Amino acid sequence: MKTRRGKIIQVALSASLCLLAILYVFPYVWMVTTSFKTDDELYNNRILPEKPSLIQYERLFEGHQASKKLKLEYKYPEYYRNSLFVTTSSLVLVLTFDALAAFAFAKYQFRGKQILFWLMLITMMLPIYATLIPSFYLFSRILKWVNTYKVLILPGVVDAYGIFLLTQYMKSIPSELLDAARIDGAGPLRIFWRIIVPLSRPALGTLAIFKFLLSWNDYLWPLVMIREESMYTLTIGIAQMQVRQGLVVWGVQMAAAVVATIPVLILVFAMQRQFLRGITAGALKG
């Protein structure tokens, strides 16, 4: 009886997970298939296009005539460059500074260490909306950073979550390795780059995926701080791809969304081994 009941529960659980997976995947399937549809097929009930076409991608990069008096042109390559530059710069700086801070918290003793660490953790509990107005005042009125790359990159360089994640991982690295390196004459920076960083690659890979997605998909902060279209990131640019009368050009927007997911897919596939190792190691140590 128990075996039969266990099988029923397992089948029900598997069916529920499959249904949940379908619900998650369906919007992405709809996005991709819609990007290959012609205008006549956009509003029918078919999921797959009858005759796949690249017309929406051509319009995305070359523009198109929406009506006799209105021609739509999109600065999508410019949005793409801005997002790539901002996200890449943010990622490099975040990994560097978070790893250095985590190294200090994990392997060094200094006065006020625990207080500083707990104060940093408290900042993780503050929602972004609680600091949005003070941050806007600081960067717009005092620093005058509106419509600059600095305002998109530097505010997120020091990240409490990243420091916490890397600190917990670096604590598991044997201190004997560091002591042996010191005996051989290695200084703190050499120990950091030659020992800590290579051994922390799983955690760094996990953090890289999280921070890349966060920066790549960021919408609220660029919306608040950017006014010039030449500085738009992908999230703002795609949202602005609509006719002034309020008619959304669905085909072009879906094509833009598909192209925007390419760097994310490349990063996830390239870092999935490090990501899984980081998650597994964290689970085993926890």
Q: Are 168 and 278 found together in one domain?
A: yes
Judge whether 207 and 90 are in contact, CB under 8 Å: no
Per-residue pLDDT, averaged over 100-129, amounts to 91
Cα dihedral 127, 130, 136, 142 sign: negative
Per-residue pLDDT, averaged over 172-179, amounts to 92
- How many CB atoms lie under 10 A from the CB of residue 270? 13
Q: Are 193 and 267 found together in one domain?
A: yes
For residue 46, pLDDT over 50 is answered with yes
R_g (Cα) of the chain, nearest Å: 24
Per-residue pLDDT, averaged over 128-143, amounts to 90
Q: Are 163 and 202 found together in one domain?
A: yes
Residue 284 pLDDT grade (very low, low, confident, very high; cuts 50, 70, 90)? very low
63 domain-assigned = no
pLDDT value of position 277? 67
273 domain-assigned = yes
9 domain-assigned = yes
The string of DSSP codes covering 53-109 is --HHHHHHHH-EESSSS-EE---HHHHHHHHHHHHHHHHHHHHHHHHHHHHHHHH--
In a 10 Å sphere around its CB, with 0-12 CB exposed, 13-18 middle and 19+ buried, how is residue 84 labelled? middle
Q: Are 194 and 274 found together in one domain?
A: yes
Q: Are 49 and 166 found together in one domain?
A: no
Per-residue pLDDT, averaged over 183-198, amounts to 92
Q: Are 37 and 101 found together in one domain?
A: no
| CB-based contacts of 96, cutoff 8 Å, min separation 6 | none
Q: Are 94 and 143 found together in one domain?
A: yes
Q: Are 42 and 179 found together in one domain?
A: no
| CB-based contacts of 73, cutoff 8 Å, min separation 6 | 63
In the numeric block, the tokens 């250095």 are attached to 100
**Alpha-carbon torsion angle 273, 217, 231, 140, nearest 10:** -110
Q: Are 45 and 150 found together in one domain?
A: no
39 domain-assigned = yes
89 domain-assigned = yes
Q: Are 228 and 96 found together in one domain?
A: yes
170 domain-assigned = yes
Q: Are 47 and 87 found together in one domain?
A: no
Residue 65 phi, psi (nearest 5): -90, 105
- How many CB atoms lie under 10 A from the CB of residue 15? 10
pTM of the predicted structure, to 2 decimals = 0.86
In the numeric block, the tokens 């089948």 are attached to 11
Helix (H) / strand (E) element for 250: namely helix 250-260
64 domain-assigned = no
* 235-278 tens-digit pLDDT: 999 888 765 556 678 888 899 999 999 999 998 888 777 766 66
Q: Provide the residue range defining the domain that includes 6.
A: 2-53
Q: What is the CATH number of the domain that holds 157?
A: 1.10.3720.10
* 2-19 tens-digit pLDDT: 577 778 888 889 999 999
Q: Which DSSP state fits 196?
A: I
How many structural domains does the chain have? 2
* 49-81 tens-digit pLDDT: 888 899 999 888 887 666 555 667 788 999 999
Judge whether 49 and 33 are in contact, CB under 8 Å: yes
Judge whether 205 and 277 are in contact, CB under 8 Å: yes
Q: Are 147 and 261 found together in one domain?
A: yes
101 domain-assigned = yes
